[in-house]
Structure 1
Amino acid sequence: MKNSLLLRFGTVITILFILAVSGMMSSMIIAETAEGYAAAINQAGTLRMQSYRIASSLVHRTKFHDELATTRTRSLVIEYNQRLFSHRIHDVLSKGPHVNVTETYHRVESQWQELMLPNLEEYLNLSSTESLTAEERRQLDSSQRNYLALVDNFVDDIHSFVEALEIDAEEKNQQLRIIQIVLLSLTFLVALVSLYLTKTRVLNPLRNLLACANAARHGDFSVRSRYLGDDELGQLGQAFNVMAEDLSVIYADLENRVRKKTHDLEQSNRSLELLYSATKRLSDSSLSETVLIAVIHDIEALLGVNNGTICLGQPGDDHAYRYASTRKKDFLSQDKVDSQCALCLGDGKSHTFKVPAPGSQMEINIFSAPIRDKNQQYGVLLVELPKDMQLEEWQERLLETVASHIALAINVAKQVTQNRKLSLMEERSVIARELHDSIAQSLSYLKIQVAKLEKSINEERDKREILLVSAALRSALNGAYRQLRELLTTFRLKVTDADLGKLLSGTVAEFENRSGIPIDFVNQIGNCQFTPNAEIHIIQIIREALSNVIRHANATRARVSLECDQTGRVNISIEDDGIGINDEGDMMQHYGLPIMKERAEWLGGRLTIEEPQGGGTRINLNFNITDASNTESKKLLIEQLKHG
């Protein structure tokens, strides 16, 4: 990346590194070149003293005629040569000092070689001779005078050389200071530039991105990063802007979806309210024009449609009749309505069609929903659509659902009517069976006895025989009257109180009062529900059994118990402590037991008679409530009702 922050900061660090290395290298180089200057200056300073010492040695010999002075002078000259050409001075000269240093040194060296040293050598050579001629003495003095005359200028040149060395050393130190100052200034400048870049290229963009992130966190996706440079943070800003744009789109889409879901939920709630209201109206009241008009008004209020109409007919019929409508009666005549039946009914599916508006050239759009349940169509639900209105899918489904609820209500009403007819036929069948099993048999017996009586009278038989027949007639009449009274009591109890437990409690109390025998009654029916016919059969079986206890058992105590478990299994037991039975097969032919057995079979159960260990008789009846509701007799009645 051309303007990468990493590259920029790497460049700054590299520059700082270069400046640091440059400072260290320049310090090392200057320190290296300045090394030995102090020794050279010290060495050059000794040359001045050495020159004066040589001069002092010359003067001392001449004044005091000291022969040892010549030796000392020679030593001083040798030492001077060593000092002048020592490595301390030549090491400095080899490092390329300033030109003044080199020039002054060469001037000192040339003066020494050309002026000072020749005079000293001549002086030393002559002074070492034992006897000197006058000319030689003159030359000796001349050499001494020449040295002494030149020594001050020579020392000045040495002083210039020393001063040049000091100046050159100071210049090198000054160069080092300048380089250090320049490098420190550059380092400070680079640091300032790096701080500026950090602030403008890092901190400010980061603050801007942080502010944008906080705004986005609080749901404001309209913010955008202002820093879009060609670096990492610029790319991050661009990425944030793209992300904010995408989040804005996603958030807007989510808001739209939430609004849509909210709208859908509101529609669902209104639809459920309509369905609940329609279902409640249809279930709480019988199906009538008023109820259906109220349902139509609910539909109009929810969907915003105009007038609604419900037409009903018989399943399979191609005509339907207007049963309820919010339209005025004079909108369409019945003939006109009948002529549109095929258009309204269609093919048994929801559809939209048009009819001419009365008194204008316009047409009205009408939506038709079939009133259908279990593949049987009872009619149609019609709603008029406002101009340019098109029903949505949920509205069509809602109308179809309401229409199906109306069909279900019609079907339930028919089922209730059918159940009432079935109950009526069952009641009639029960009454006929009871009359046949009791009074009809007694009447047949009376008919036979009347025939015997007529025959006896016609044949003028013995009065005793006629009285026997008359007694039999009276006994049969009493039995028939008793059976009739019991039947009336049973049906009267059925009408006045529908609770089987109370009915049986009253029956037990009746027999207990009639016979004076204590009869225990144990009721454990619980919430078991019996059909009316099953209740009658149970009551008649118990009445017949208690009647046998009173008339034939010679019992002192009896017990009636009823039990019903969670599976609907019923167990009824009638027990006494009487004389018991000798032959169950013989007993089943007497005491009304065949009728009791027939009633047990009608209940789908089984009747058994047994003798407990302590004596007496126990009659057990076992059946299931489900079997009692689905016996062959009831199925036969249902088939008769369907075909009758």
Structure 2
Amino acid sequence: MLSQTPKLRSLSSKLLMLTIAWLLLAMTSIGYTLVLSWKLEGGAAAINDAGSLRMRSYHAALLVSENASREAIQQEEQAFSDTLARLKKGDPARPLFLPDNAAVRQQAEEIEQHWRGDILPQLRRAELQSARPERTASPDVSSFVDRIDRLVKLIEEDNARNTTLLRFFQMALIAMAIVGSFTMMFLLFLLVIRPLDTLGEAITRLRNGELGARVEVSGNDEFALLSSGFNQMADHLQELYATLEQKVESKTRSVEEKNRHLTALYGTTSFLHESHELEAMCDGFISRLITLTGADAGSVRLVDVKRGRLELIAQHGLPEEMLEDDHCAPLDGCHCGEAVPQPFAVIRRFDRMQQQEEKHCQRAGFKEISVFHIRHNQSNVGIFTLYFRELTPLSPQDQFLLETLGSHLGLAIENQRLAARDRQFAVSEERNLMAQGLHDSIAQSLSFLNLQVQMLEAALGSGETEQAQENLGFIRTGVQECYEDVRELLLNFRTRINKEDFNDAVHTLLSRFEQQALVATQLTMHGNGLPLDPQQQLQVIFILQEALSNVRKHAQAEHVSIDIRNEADFVMTIRDDGCGFDQQRFEARKARHVGLSIMQERAARIHGRIAIRPLPGSGTEVCLTLPQTERQAA
């Protein structure tokens, strides 16, 4: 930490004091020259007014000699008196004043006394005689004018002295400007430029690799602080350079360790996101961790909370006796189970543990185990354990990495469980739809056949041959319908489509319908909207199958038109020219139409809407709409 420079010793203080001193001296000189200029201007005005006194003296004598009017003489007297009074009093506004000189003041007093005691009385007598016809002798003003001339001369001499002083001070100002400029240049060179050059040379040497470059610290000003700071910086750089190789090696090791961790994290998470069975996934996981940490063995166990056990899923390197021993299965059976409720990983070094009953891992020759949790959303899924035959302490970074990988494994296991539940749910849903389809088709037909068989038995028992023949015809027709229903269901169950052959699947379905029902179809497909995803395509095909099945069973139609419009919304419209239905009866019995319920459920799976309405005249229209918000790009 650099000490602060005392204020009076700092470079800025020195330059400020020198500037103030030079400014005060210059301002004093300039002020004095202004005073001298003011005095010269006032003296010049005084010379001018004093000269006017001389003129007015002669003019007054002339007026007397010419017997001028009394008013003219009085006017001249008054003008002379005013000029004399103004000369003595001065007028700063002009400026006008007599020099501050005893001889000048004395001469001005003599002129005033002579004016009042000699000249003015003569003029007064001349005023009294101005009315007489004879010519009046003019007063003698020559001696009075001499006094005025002497006053002018004294003022001029004073002005001459002031002019000399003014020139002196002007020359002094020029000299001060020259000396001050050279002084400032010298001080700038001495106090600023030379220290800057010295510091710049040292910086250049340091930049060129001369780490021993230093600056001599002299004085206690700002440049002394800069020099001291430069020397400290150079010392620090030299120290850094001396330990640079060691620090680079340390940073390299740190970067390599981080890269190793990132590689392990990326490789393990990539492996966990691939499709694997649970055992294969856990086996690959623990084998990677053994390679990463240098462990001699490892195992993955999942927690069964209800049974209070740990189930071994995968292991590498464990001896046979440990696999056969069941001590690790209970949660309180060994160190692994004891670690389950702990919030963090558990490290066990057997050489530091108190004397107690040896666990099976200790008896197998392992000196240290590390138990890490497999968690998902803060819940324990299981644990994985690393076994070491030699003491191998794991760094905090390694422990954090292993805990992170355990969380990824927990997520992967939970995803597998969710996927299995989703598959079970999908199978359950599909079985439900199959049951509904069987109920709507085959079950009803079998119920009808059972009734006809009972009627046939009754007719045969009573010997009614015609009734028996009629019942046999109904049974034959019912069996044929059951056969066709079973065949249709089998074909539906075998349907497999993808987004590339959706159009082909529709054409195949219509072709099969024409062969079975002997009903003509017309297909129109247009639009260039987003393709349907596989789930949407499958449900659309099933809805089309169910609609055509209803046409075959109930509509008694001769023609069916299918319009598929794939634009912003996906709209499929199926129209037939059959017998149609009564809208009111349909709404009243809607819940009992299993086929229609199946179509509604399949449409709901893809967030679509089904609308069924009778056409004017005859026929039925089924319209499936999949909104734009439910579409997705392939």
Instruction: State the distance in 2 between where 1:432 and 1:221 align.
Output: 89
Q: Aligned in 2, Cα 1:496/1:572: closer, same or farther, shift over 3 Å?
A: closer
Contact 2:556-2:579 at 8 Å conserved across structures:
no
Instruction: State the distance in 1 between where 2:346 and 2:561 align.
Output: 72
Q: Aligned in 2, Cα 1:288/1:257: closer, same or farther, shift over 3 Å?
A: same
Bigger Cα Rg: 1
Question: Aligned match of 2:448 in 439, 445, 448?
Answer: 445
Contact 1:600-1:621 at 8 Å conserved across structures:
no
Partner of 1:213: 203
Question: Aligned match of 1:611 in 611, 615, 626?
Answer: 615
Partner of 2:409: 406
For 2:340, the aligned partner's letter is: L
Q: What whole-Å deviation, never above 9, does each CA across 1:133-165 have from its counterpart, x for those lacking one?
A: xxxxxxxxxxxxxxxxxxxxxxxxxxxxxxxxx
Instruction: State the distance in 1 between where 2:622 and 2:188 align.
Output: 108
**Structure 1 position 612, deviation (Å):** 6.0
**Structure 1 position 237, deviation (Å):** 2.2
Partner of 1:528: 533
For 2:549, the aligned partner's letter is: E
Partner of 2:176: none
Instruction: State the distance in 2 between where 1:301 and 1:499 align.
Output: 47
Is 1:295 the counterpart of 2:294 in the alignment?
A: no
**Structure 1 position 444, deviation (Å):** 0.5
**Structure 1 position 448, deviation (Å):** 0.5
Partner of 1:459: 462
Contact 2:436-2:594 at 8 Å conserved across structures:
no
Q: Aligned in 2, Cα 1:342/1:291: closer, same or farther, shift over 3 Å?
A: closer
For 1:572, the aligned partner's letter is: M
**Structure 1 position 539, deviation (Å):** 3.8
Matches within 5 A, 1:548-627: 552-555=556-559, 558-561=561-564, 563=566, 565=568, 571-576=571-576, 578=577, 581=580, 583-585=582-584, 594-603=593-602, 604=604, 605-611=609-615, 617-622=620-625
Structure 2 SS opposite 1:530: helix
Question: Aligned match of 1:488 in 479, 487, 490?
Answer: 490
Please report the RMSD computed on the Cα atoms of aligned residues, expressed in angstroms. 5.1
**Structure 1 position 261, deviation (Å):** 7.7
Q: Aligned in 2, Cα 1:374/1:203: closer, same or farther, shift over 3 Å?
A: closer
Q: Aligned in 2, Cα 1:448/1:402: closer, same or farther, shift over 3 Å?
A: same
Matches within 5 A, 1:327-366: 327-330=317-320, 332=322, 334-338=325-329, 339-340=333-334, 341-347=336-342, 349-355=344-350, 364-366=367-369
Q: What whole-Å deviation, never above 9, does each CA across 1:98-149 have from its counterpart, x for those lacking one?
A: xxxxxxxxxxxxxxxxxxxxxxxxxxxxxxxxxxxxxxxxxxxxxxxxxxxx
Q: What whole-Å deviation, never above 9, does each CA across 1:456-480 have from its counterpart, x for those lacking one?
A: 111122x322222222222222222
Q: Aligned in 2, Cα 1:278/1:434: closer, same or farther, shift over 3 Å?
A: same
Contact 1:597-1:607 at 8 Å conserved across structures:
no
Percent identical: 23
Instruction: State the distance in 2 between where 1:3 and 1:485 align.
Output: 108
Is 1:242 the counterpart of 2:244 in the alignment?
A: no
Instruction: State the distance in 2 between where 1:454 and 1:293 align.
Output: 67
Choose 390-399 or 585-594, whichever is displaced more. Answer: 585-594
Matches within 5 A, 1:113-512: 206-217=196-207, 223-228=213-218, 233-245=223-235, 266-287=256-277, 291-303=281-293, 307-330=297-320, 332=322, 334-338=325-329, 339-340=333-334, 341-347=336-342, 349-355=344-350, 364-384=367-387, 390-461=393-464, 463-494=465-496, 501-512=503-514
Contact 1:367-1:382 at 8 Å conserved across structures:
yes
Instruction: State the distance in 2 between where 1:432 and 1:209 align.
Output: 95
Instruction: State the distance in 2 between where 1:2 and 1:464 align.
Output: 139
For 1:237, the aligned partner's letter is: S
**Structure 1 position 455, deviation (Å):** 0.8
**Structure 1 position 374, deviation (Å):** 3.5
Contact 1:222-1:244 at 8 Å conserved across structures:
yes
Instruction: State the distance in 2 between where 1:531 and 1:315 align.
Output: 40
TM-score w.r.t. the length of structure 1 is 0.56
Contact 1:283-1:409 at 8 Å conserved across structures:
yes
Choose 223-232 or 249-258, whichever is displaced more. Answer: 249-258
**Structure 1 position 395, deviation (Å):** 2.1
Q: Aligned in 2, Cα 1:234/1:397: closer, same or farther, shift over 3 Å?
A: closer
**Structure 1 position 245, deviation (Å):** 4.5
Q: What whole-Å deviation, never above 9, does each CA across 1:445-499 have from its counterpart, x for those lacking one?
A: 01111111111111122x3222222222222222222212211221122499996
Instruction: State the distance in 2 between where 1:536 and 1:220 align.
Output: 83
**Structure 1 position 253, deviation (Å):** 11
Instruction: State the distance in 1 between where 2:427 and 2:10 align.
Output: 100
Structure 2 SS opposite 1:553: coil
Contact 1:348-1:377 at 8 Å conserved across structures:
no
Structure 2 SS opposite 1:347: coil
Instruction: State the distance in 1 between where 2:311 and 2:440 align.
Output: 49
Instruction: State the distance in 1 between where 2:195 and 2:591 align.
Output: 109
Contact 1:345-1:370 at 8 Å conserved across structures:
yes
Choose 362-371 or 477-486, whichever is displaced more. Answer: 362-371
Q: Aligned in 2, Cα 1:348/1:510: closer, same or farther, shift over 3 Å?
A: same
Contact 1:275-1:402 at 8 Å conserved across structures:
yes
Q: Aligned in 2, Cα 1:283/1:552: closer, same or farther, shift over 3 Å?
A: same
Q: Aligned in 2, Cα 1:236/1:595: closer, same or farther, shift over 3 Å?
A: closer
Contact 1:205-1:227 at 8 Å conserved across structures:
no
**Structure 1 position 249, deviation (Å):** 7.9
Q: Aligned in 2, Cα 1:490/1:548: closer, same or farther, shift over 3 Å?
A: same
Structure 1 SS opposite 2:215: coil
Structure 2 SS opposite 1:379: strand
Structure 2 SS opposite 1:380: strand
For 1:601, the aligned partner's letter is: Q
For 2:558, the aligned partner's letter is: N
Unaligned runs of 5+ in 2: 1-7, 23-181, 352-357
For 1:308, the aligned partner's letter is: G
**Structure 1 position 238, deviation (Å):** 2.3
Instruction: State the distance in 2 between where 1:279 and 1:301 align.
Output: 15
Structure 2 SS opposite 1:320: strand
Instruction: State the distance in 2 between where 1:367 and 1:446 align.
Output: 71
Structure 1 SS opposite 2:317: coil
Instruction: State the distance in 1 between where 2:266 and 2:450 align.
Output: 64
Q: Aligned in 2, Cα 1:488/1:537: closer, same or farther, shift over 3 Å?
A: same
Instruction: State the distance in 1 between where 2:208 and 2:532 align.
Output: 61
**Structure 1 position 580, deviation (Å):** 6.3
Choose 604-613 or 479-488, whichever is displaced more. Answer: 604-613
For 2:531, the aligned partner's letter is: G
Contact 1:371-1:381 at 8 Å conserved across structures:
yes
Q: How many residues align?
A: 440
Q: Aligned in 2, Cα 1:273/1:457: closer, same or farther, shift over 3 Å?
A: same
**Structure 1 position 301, deviation (Å):** 4.2
**Structure 1 position 371, deviation (Å):** 1.1
